[in-house]
Amino acid sequence: MPNELRLPAVEVRQSPGRKLYSFAVDGKLVHRFATISRVSRTEEGLHGYQRPEVLSHIEEIRNYLESPSPMVPNAIVLAFDSRVRFEPAKGTSPSDYSQPGVIVIPMEENLPDERKPGFIVDGQQRLAAIREATIERFPVCVTAFITNDVSQQTEQFILVNSTKPLPKGLIYELLPKTTAQLPSLLNRRRLPAQLLERLNLDISSPLKGMIHTTTNPTGLIKDNSILKMLENSLSDGALYKFRKPGSLEADVEPMLELLRSYWMAVSRVFAAAWNLPPKKSRLMHGAGIISMGFIMDAITDRLHEAHIPTAMQYEADLQPLKEICHWTAGYWDFGPGQQRKWNELQNTSKDIELLANYLIAQYKSRVWNRPTAKTVKTGRAALSRRAKSASDSV
């Protein structure tokens, strides 16, 4: 007789003939009695219902599991065949919908996958990460049902995995409130999301209330446009120098000071195009926001001040661009054969690159060689040295 794994469980009756079983088990044991029925196609047709493991995702979960005090609240969903049974606890009677007891799972050694009594309906990657993690054990919550009908297993897999995910905008709004290790993409977006939140909420921000988020649906500028602008600058632009080396953390306050100064200047120089819906102003559009982010980096780089540039300094460098920008009317002149009506610019990588390259080229031709406060100071010091040298030689 095969060995058995006996686990305290609760039987839940949801509808006639439909019973669920909830229990806890060490995640490192699950692969001994449950397998993955991967999707494959043969001459006989489609078989299985699970998707292949995503190695990068598994690695991220594993890293989290190996961090201090991890928690995985989501239940694993398993489908068992009739070899698994539920034994009600002695001396108990069922309530309207539940009954305590023990779930009994056969545990034969070296059982081939196709003969294991359990199939993983949901939680494949979490279980793979637990299996690979350098931890002794990791208990998980399991919700299971018992059926010999593969179509029922497939049906539940589809229902579990077709639920609508959280809106990305809501996830980005929640990120600033988290400190736990997250998947790499979310980790990278945590700092931009924190900056976006402050820009949208701080009373001193020129963008206060203007960024469209899940909790601020009346905002004019899409949150993803602001996030992309911030990510570009954090990667290798004006905000990069405030990053802590080898870390995703940063000194937020000087970043916000720089962002407030620059976007205040933008709002003043392009006042006629500011605070309008994107359909009426391409400055408030993704193409405008992201492109103007590159100009922020270029101006900051040119000024290379010891202190963060003021709004007036940014204004002075933006002013020469005013006459060539057509945010609300007219045509952009991108060169021979490349005239574009103001509202034809779209939030695509191609159009953003076209607009950004044009603005940077115009900025460099009109402003780049202007003396800055630092170069003026250096020039005056050089003249003073020459004068002193001349008087000494007389």
DSSP 224-237: HHHHHHHHHHHHHS
- Residue 389 domain-assigned (yes or no): no
Q: What is the dihedral sign for C-alpha 74, 76, 77, 82?
A: negative
The count of C-alpha atoms lying within 13 angstroms of the C-alpha of 96, restricted to the half-sphere facing its C-beta, is 0
pLDDT at 386: 40
pLDDT at 371: 76
At which of 126, 161, 196 does a domain end? 161
In the predicted model, residues of the chain with pLDDT beneath 70 are: 1-2, 37-54, 151, 153-154, 157-166, 179-181, 246-249, 373-394
Instruction: Give the three-class secondary structure for 274.
Output: coil
Rounded Cα gap, residues 221 and 198, in angstroms: 15
pLDDT at 158: 66
- Residue 114 domain-assigned (yes or no): yes
Residues 117, 98: contact at Cβ < 8 Å? no
pLDDT at 37: 63
pLDDT at 94: 76
Cβ burial of 319 (10 Å; 0-12, 13-18, 19+) is middle
Burial 82-116 (b: 16+ CB within 10 A, else e): ebbebeeeeeeeeeeeebebebbbbbeeeeeeeeb
Q: Please check whether residues 22 and 124 belong to one and the same domain.
A: yes
Instruction: Give the three-class secondary structure for 253.
Output: helix
Give the residue numbers spanning the domain of 145. Answer: 3-161
Q: Please check whether residues 152 and 184 belong to one and the same domain.
A: no
Residues 7, 123: contact at Cβ < 8 Å? no
Quote the radius of gyration of the chain (alpha carbons, Å).
31
Domain count of the chain?
A: 2
- Residue 388 domain-assigned (yes or no): no
Rounded Cα gap, residues 133 and 67, in angstroms: 10
pLDDT at 389: 42
- Residue 394 domain-assigned (yes or no): no
pLDDT at 385: 45
